Amino acid sequence: MDEAENWSQFFEVLGYEFSDFDLLQQAFVHESLVNESQESSLSNERLEFLGDSVLGLTVAEFLYKEFPEEPEGQLAQMKSYLVSRKHLAVCADRLKLGQYLQLGKGEENSGGKRRESLLANCFEAVIGAVFLDGGYGKARKVIVGVLGDDMRQGLGAVKDEKSRLQEKVQTVFQALPKYRIVEESGPAHDRSFMVEVLFGGEVLGQGSGRSKREASQAAAKVALKVFYQRGERWYEPYLGNLPRSGVQQLDEDE
């Protein structure tokens, strides 16, 4: 695939085609490259600053209109999650921004293209670039295109760590995680559960709670952190043995 075709596919996924290609490229230049290279003079930090504000406004406006009965506190909680570093890194994964990031050698060798903070910052920079290139209407359309389903879920998107883990695993590996109960204790009226989440036979997270649902959500939260810390290449030896469908479902009514 040549460079033109590669960018063409990116525009299609993004839902917007740039007029100022230099502006788009700047959105992918990390400060570490500027510090190491004489060729790049501008990093994506200013675009990130701008994109952060555009993103915040768009999300706030969308939630205000989508949930007319929700109080301010609930709207603030939803917005806080939707613009969080963790969630924006997931959005960056959807657009495969990591493969376009331009980093200094040290940053790249340390796994920068998979780092949650860099992916989130790059997503904001791309939004800032769209805003400058096409205006607020185009930027809003891109944001709603990427985050729309999450925003419509409301508080469900904030709380469901299992769904976020499943989306991460399916997006990257076209495979699914597995959950298992490893411990149950306590009397019937005060049960406690310990749940593990596995991927490729490896335990990625363990969580406890007063219900199976609470414990599995806690385990998924730990596993999400492991994914971003270790990066994707660590799992390559396991890919041939991964289940392609049927996440193990726990009876979470207890």
Told to judge if 3 belongs to the known catalytic residues of this protein, a careful annotator would answer no
* Dihedral Cα 122, 123, 129, 132, nearest 10 deg: -130
Where does the chain have alpha helices with state H?
A: 3-14, 21-26, 31-36, 45-66, 72-82, 85-95, 105-109, 116-134, 136-153, 155-159, 161-173, 212-230
Please tell me the distance from the alpha carbon of residue 177 to that of residue 223, in angstroms, as a whole number. 10
Find the helix packing angle between 136-153 and 45-66, rounded to 10°.
60
Please tell me the distance from the alpha carbon of residue 6 to that of residue 99, in angstroms, as a whole number. 11
Which of 107, 124, 150, 196 is catalytic? The answer is: 124
Please tell me the distance from the alpha carbon of residue 153 to that of residue 178, in angstroms, as a whole number. 24
Which of 48, 52, 133, 161 is catalytic? The answer is: 52
DSSP string of 120-139, one letter each residue: HHHHHHHHHHHHHHH-HHHH
Told to judge if 124 belongs to the known catalytic residues of this protein, a careful annotator would answer yes
Q: Could you give the residue numbers annotated as active site? A: 52, 124
